[in-house]
Structure 1
Amino acid sequence: MCLGIPGEVIEVLDDKPDLAKVDVSGVRRNINIGLLGEDRPVPGEWILIHVGFALSKIDEQEAQDALAFLEGIGQAYADEIEALKESRIE
């Protein structure tokens, strides 16, 4: 499964215009924004990221909804693994 992760643009790097510093759930990384072409994001805007590349700009509500969904999947997956660890098939 491929996931797009929302991130908030912190700054576009002056010396590397295809890169932006982005905050993804508290982790800051440089992300390639070159695929967005002329629709470059500015600080404060949200982007959808996959394997280090911005795929599209999204609004803040869509970003928050996606983050909540992903957090929900993460917890559901963790709960399922714990249940599996505790189960015994004999």
Structure 2
Amino acid sequence: MCLAIPALIEELTTPGNAIVNLGGVRKEISLALISDAAVGEYVIVHVGYALQKLDQQEAQRTLEMFAEMGQIDELRSELGVQ
């Protein structure tokens, strides 16, 4: 199953890339599809690309729903992290 999930930008790396936190997993993604991303902002991530920015309240609500559905463990598995 492929999901687009909220991730917190923790670090801007090379131009157009960032390290994000995906439910406790740090991963480098591309910011090529959005503009003006900053550390501390949430983005929706799918297949290694940030698709759009998301406000903190909506990101937290979405992450809580994933947790309630047991999706966080599935996402960790897809990322190869247990």
TM-score by length of 2: 0.79
1:87 aligned residue: none
Q: How far apart are residue 7 of structure 1 and its match? A: 0.6
Structure 2: any 5+ residue segments left out of the alignment?
72-82
Identity of aligned residues (%): 42
Q: Do structure 1's residue 60 and structure 2's residue 56 form an aligned pair?
A: yes
Structure 1: any 5+ residue segments left out of the alignment?
76-90
Answer 1 or 2: which has greater helix percent. 1
CA RMSD of aligned residues (A): 1.4
TM-score by length of 1: 0.72
Answer with 1 or 2: which has the greater Rg: 1
Q: CA separation in 2, counterparts of 1:4 and 1:73?
A: 15
1:33 aligned residue: 31
Between the two proteins, the alignment pairs up a number of residues equal to 71
Which amino acid in the other structure matches residue 3 of structure 1? L
Which amino acid in the other structure matches residue 50 of structure 1? H
Structure 1 segments (4+ residues) deviating >2 Å: none
